[in-house]
Chains A and B, each alone.
Chain A
Amino acid sequence: MEALKQELKSKIIEVLNLEDIAVEDINDNDALFGDGLGLDSIDALELIVLLDKEYGIKLTDPKDGKAIFESIETMSKYIAANRTK
């Protein structure tokens, strides 16, 4: 699980062009949206694409995203339980 979290942080930084943020700057329980990393609605869509492209997970109901994308911790748990690749 720890390796997945590190991989996820690295991919998020790359995909979302978070220029001034390093893997070690992101804590597992930091909020990804709002006061945490400050991601926006387009970033949320990119995260949905990332789940599909990298882990073979298709989110059919966007409402699920709110809980899944709360933090690295929640994302990694969801990926570990649902990944198809």
Chain B
Amino acid sequence: MKANNYISNYCVIENNSVILNSGREFELQNGSFSEFAKAAYKNFNMEYPKFFKMDNLSKLAFLGSEIILKELVNQEENNNIALVFANRSSSLDTDVKYQNSIADKDNYFPSPAVFVYTLPNICIGEISIKYKLQSENAFFVFEEFNAGFITNYANLLLETNKAEKVLCGWVECYQENYKAVVYLVEKQGHTEHNEETVNTLYNK
């Protein structure tokens, strides 16, 4: 018989607001994603200057993860938290910016700092670096939010003892359209982890 897994914490970021475990924790009335991300960073007292070097996809994934993990994880310990993330637009937001920076042959100065973010899984690398995670990680690209796949993948990691906890995330970002749904799955908690409850989180 399969053991049940649970969603212990979740964070939803969209429309310049942050919801943590059903409570609205932060909101910026007006502003671009960059302005919102900077304001959220300061609101949650994150002290990690590398945040400002990240592209928007990584900033989005980092915010969602940090808001959940910073109170739960002791960075001095060996944390076996797997990361399973997905989105629709891959790294297209940064791909387009990079392409624009090299489009003019007379003004050809490719930026290494932009280029390094032209892969979507870089965002889970940023989270791994922050929390010194050497755990399982995967980034998938789907046409639409795929609760069934991510739920099965996370359960498999827990049931085969590949991870003690799994941080799952949908982190979609293209230009000013963005949405993050990040949640921690573990063996204890109140909300059962299944396709229906994950879809409920996404549709909040």
A interface residues with partner B (beta carbon < 8 Å): 16-20, 38, 42-43, 45-46, 49, 52-53
Q: In the bound complex, do residue A16 and residue B53 qualify as a contact, i.e. CB atoms below 8 Å apart?
A: yes
Overall SS of chain B's interface: helix
B interface residues with partner A (beta carbon < 8 Å): 38, 49, 51-53, 109-113, 116
Which residues of A lie under 8 Å from residue B52 when comparing CB positions?
A: 17-19
Which residues of B lie under 8 Å from residue A17 when comparing CB positions?
A: 52-53, 113
The residue on A at minimum CB distance from B38 is: A19
The residue on B at minimum CB distance from A21 is: B49
Q: In the bound complex, do residue B49 and residue A46 qualify as a contact, i.e. CB atoms below 8 Å apart?
A: no
Task: Supply 8 further A-B pairs (C-beta < 8 A) apart from A19-B51, A20-B49, A52-B109.
Answer: A16-B113, A17-B113, A18-B52, A19-B38, A19-B49, A43-B113, A46-B111, A53-B109
Show 22 A/B contacts (Cβ-Cβ < 8 Å), sorted by A.
Answer: A17-B52, A17-B53, A18-B52, A19-B38, A19-B49, A19-B52, A38-B49, A42-B53, A42-B112, A42-B113, A42-B116, A43-B113, A45-B112, A45-B113, A46-B111, A46-B112, A46-B113, A49-B109, A49-B110, A49-B111, A49-B112, A52-B109
Bound: A52/B108 CA distance, A: 10
Bound: A52/B38 CA distance, A: 30
Closest Cβ of chain B: how far from A37's Cβ, in Å? 10
Which residues of A lie under 8 Å from residue B53 when comparing CB positions?
A: 16-17, 42
Which residues of A lie under 8 Å from residue B111 when comparing CB positions?
A: 46, 49
Which residues of B lie under 8 Å from residue A46 when comparing CB positions?
A: 111-113
Closest Cβ of chain B: how far from A35's Cβ, in Å? 15
Q: In the bound complex, do residue B49 and residue A18 qualify as a contact, i.e. CB atoms below 8 Å apart?
A: yes
Which residues of A lie under 8 Å from residue B110 when comparing CB positions?
A: 49
Which residues of A lie under 8 Å from residue B116 when comparing CB positions?
A: 42
Bound: A38/B53 CA distance, A: 13
Which residues of A lie under 8 Å from residue B109 when comparing CB positions?
A: 49, 52-53
The residue on A at minimum CB distance from B110 is: A49
The residue on B at minimum CB distance from A46 is: B113
The residue on A at minimum CB distance from B52 is: A19
Which residues of B lie under 8 Å from residue A16 when comparing CB positions?
A: 53, 113
Which residues of B lie under 8 Å from residue A18 when comparing CB positions?
A: 49, 52
Which residues of B lie under 8 Å from residue A45 when comparing CB positions?
A: 112-113
Bound: A20/B51 CA distance, A: 11
Which residues of B lie under 8 Å from residue A53 when comparing CB positions?
A: 109
Bound: A19/B52 CA distance, A: 6
Which residues of A lie under 8 Å from residue B49 when comparing CB positions?
A: 18-20, 38
